[in-house]
Structure formats: structure tokens, C-alpha cells
Amino acid sequence: MGSYGFPSIFGGSNGSNCCDPGAPWCCPQFYVGYNVEQGTDRSPTVFDATSRTFDGRLPGFNQFTIDIQEPSGVWLGVSNYCKIGERLGFFASGWYLFPTTGNADQTFTAPGVFAPSVGSWSASKSMGWIDGAVILGSQCGLNLIAGFRWDKYNLQLKNNVSVSLAAPPGTNLPAEADLTVNHYMPFLGTQYCCGDPCCGLLVRVIGFPWVPGTGTYGQTFNNIPDRFQATWNPSRAWFIEVFSEYTRNCFGVGCIGVFGRFNYLSSRGNATPTDLLGVFPGLPDYDFTLTRQSWTIGGKVKLDFALPGLPNFGLFL
């Protein structure tokens, strides 16, 4: 996860364990984190689609839910923190979760028509974001954060296997599906550091109650040459992120520590499907909902490369 705040901007350790009141400078950093695995029983990621009106032409497609396992994976990130003034800082960062594979369960229902039909997928997921923010406040203590994040989430589903015989006769099993969602996240938050702003305890919370975005969901079926395709406009969404780290000086040459991060996103919006095979015109609009949470843990190492008269650069792992 890494640190968004003044612990990076306003201080190298230099063995001094104090704030750095020097002139403006920047500090590029690199990060490694571990995405903690979560099983489908905890529903770490759920994608749900419900048609606004019942349509008997697509049995089972009036409502479907995909429960996605949250497999473990590796996060890599890079950021650059700049001190602009005694009470003003700026940062920009980019994060990427390398594609991970797991399982997903999909349930089709048509209330009052037939019992739910359940299938299991092989799922591949990747995600990442780019963000930037300004940080207002003193070098130590409580600070305010205001920024913007572009978040992209992609899910690929393949090799569907039916685990239920409740589907109506003639129903084609799904062959593959994919979900891609972009969220454009303004955010506000605060952070507090206790002790040294470079090596100490840091707690940060950011989030926002409104997150716009765009997305698509598509699904093909065996023996059908076309696909169900819907354009998604998530407009009722919110997110929160909580981050904490604890670091200590290490022989006056840098800092070592541990960190943890929790992310939660709830996104809901209208989806408009295109015609399927040209024989199902006027398909009903859907409500699409994506709920996503993740835990990340890792270690932090900051090594000083400061020379007299030059900025203090560091490497975070």
C-alpha cells in the first residue's frame, strides 16, 4: 500500500528522528504488497444484475448474481511525494494488482418461473489505479487530504460448469463472460502521525460518498454466435480506504516497518443491454451492482540516500 502522507514528504530519518524543515523537494518511492485471499463464502466481490421489468424471453436472465473469490496476489506501486511548503504537499501514485486466478459462482433466477440455476467459473481478475492529491496541515500531527483517483477493474470468466440441473430445458450454458468497470473517484480524508513523521505510527482514512464511472458486461453462450452485452453507468457509488503503518528507525540509515490496508467499494447504476441475436429487441434495462472489498498487508523499508545539500530520496518495499 505505502504511505500517502507527510511521513514520506517531510522527513528522511538521517538518524535524527525529527522533521525536516528544509526547502521543497520530492521523494520517489516503490511499493510491494500482498493481496490477502478471501473465499466466496465471505463474498469479497459480488456482481449482481436485476432487470427492471420481467422478460420471459430470456429465462433466468431476469436476475443473476456472480460471487467471486478474492485470490491472493501481488501489488506493485510507485509514487512521488513533493514538499511544496511548510503546510502544503503533493503526491501522485500508481498501483497495479497482477492478474490473479480463482473461482466464481454464478446464479440465474427468474422469480416464480423456475428454481435457481447455478454454475461455476474459472475467474481471472486484474485491477489498479492512478491518483493524485494535495495534503494540507502541519508536518507532524493531523493533516487533511483532497485528491482524485482513476480506478479500473477487469474480470474474465471462462470454463463454466453447471452444478445445478434446475435450468429449464433448452437453456444454453454460459461459455465466457467479462466485466470491465472504470471508476472516477474524488476523495477527501485525514491522517494522523504519532511520533516522528518519518518513522512512527500513521493512520489514514480517505473516501467519498459519490463516485461516477463507466463499464461493460458481456456474456456468450454455447451454440449461440452472439452475446448478451450491456453498457453500465454506475452513478450511485461510494468508497472508503483505511491505511495504517508502524515504522522504526534502523541504525540511522532508514526505516523498517509494516502496513495494512482495507478498501471497500459499493457501486450501483443503470445498464442498457443490446439486442441478443437480433431476435430479442427491446430488452429491459438492468440495475447492476458491484460490491468489492480487499485487504492488503506488507512490509516497508526506507533507505536513505541523502547527500549534503541534496534531497533525501528513499526506497519503499
Q: What is the pLDDT of residue 65?
A: 87
Per-residue pLDDT of the chain (317 residues; tens, 9 = 90+): 334 333 433 333 333 333 443 445 566 677 889 988 776 556 678 999 888 777 666 656 778 888 887 777 898 888 777 778 778 888 888 999 987 788 888 887 766 555 566 778 888 888 999 999 998 987 667 889 999 999 999 999 887 766 554 444 445 566 788 999 999 999 999 988 776 555 678 888 999 999 999 999 988 876 666 678 888 888 889 999 998 888 777 665 567 778 889 999 999 999 988 766 555 666 778 899 999 998 998 887 776 554 344 444 433 33
Contact in structure between 291 and 239 (CB atoms under 8 Å): no
CA 311 to chain centre: 32
Q: What is the pLDDT of residue 257?
A: 78
Domains identified in the chain and CATH numbers: 6-303 (2.40.128)
Q: What is the pLDDT of residue 8?
A: 39
Q: What is the pLDDT of residue 229?
A: 85
